[in-house]
Structure 1
Amino acid sequence: MPKDLSSVKAKVIQLRVKKHLSLREIHQQTGVPKGTLSNWLKPYPLPEEIREVKQAVAYEKLQNYIKTVRKRQRPTESKFHKALGDQELTTYQKSSIAEAAVLFRLALHRFKVYGSLFDGGTADWVVESPSGKHLKLQVKFARIDNRGMPIIPLLCSDGRTKFRCYREEEFDFVVGYCFFSDTAYVLSFEEVKGKTCHVPQEQDEERWDKLLNL
């Protein structure tokens, strides 16, 4: 095993043995794939009492999340979505609509917008704020789930046939545009780090101040 890989494995084992972290928690801290972690940590299972506590905490978080979603009102259908009628949008059309909607909002807030500076870069645009701050921006078309709530997809292609979560250096903010309600949700990388998708909250709606106040 290469020396650098050995040090990573040693850190993983230390996080399990000393801090009793789960596979998900160790993955979030180290970036090591969960399959690899599972193999490495077979000799180091979580103590039964620790596992029970973690399961109870996870269940409580899930119940609180469900309660929050139930309290939220479903988005109101926008006039633009109504005008679409029964037409089905292609992937290209969805991308174009999301980018046009976000570009309009950026113009309103006096941002300058540039294409990605790097070939094959995962950021859609580099934007310059009125104060001169440059930020990498990712734009996503938010779909509506069967509960009527928006969901922002957060996976990118690895260049072959697999998909992965975004890395920290790949964007500063993601804007999920919901065509159904004509709403843009603005989220920082830290708010969606390690997620494959994200259900935005009402406090994320049109939060362009996050970009302006940096």
Structure 2
Amino acid sequence: MKSIKLLGTVAATVLWSTAALAQSFTFAVNQPVPDNNALGLTLSTNLTVAGGNISSVNVALDINGGFNGDLYAYLAGPNGGLAVLLNRVGVSNSTSQFGYSDPGINVTFSDTAASSIQYYQSLSYVLNGTGQLTGTWQPEGVAIDPASTPSAFFGAPQSALLGSLDGTNPNGTWTLFLADMSAGGQSTVVNWGLDITTTVPEPSTLALAGVGLAGAILLLRRHRTQVG
């Protein structure tokens, strides 16, 4: 009986083994973000993604010009989940109420990055030849009104990260929203992209699971015959 239980356990474990399928999507935009306008710019795209549910998402975002501290941006998934990518980077108190003045970003957002983009000027960072921030950063994740008082931003929790999309169905309409919350400068979205990893059952492990289950059933029948 112990051998039957062991074989059944192995088969059940193998049955749930999964592989990861990574897919990339890039979208050319070249549209300005309306200056000092909370209605902002909404970019929507309908995707058909192979595999099962989401296991991870990274976002590439290229914005040129304007002032980074003016910007608010979030990504909404087609079936739940919302990540705040930018929320007035650098804003923290009355002496930094306008945030950082660097003119744009060309970055990748990933929950596994070493640091949040929120106060990147207090860290080691690199600007390219046009003054855009570069590198891979955690989303800001601060889910408060971008029109909040400056002091509300400092110490606010990262409660809206890309992990909120994990486990959801990736198929349908994805939405990237951006708003410029302060007058002056012109930010333009050049392009953006998604790296979506989904879970996929491995055919070989499913077949092995079938063999394991069949073996367990055969042993069980033999055991019953011997007992009878």
TM-score, normalised relative to structure 1: 0.26
> Computing the radius of gyration over CA atoms, which structure comes out larger, 1 or 2?
2
Greater RCO between the two (CA within 8 Å, min separation 6)? 2
> Which has a greater percent of helix?
1
> Which has a greater percent of strand?
2
TM-score, normalised relative to structure 2: 0.25
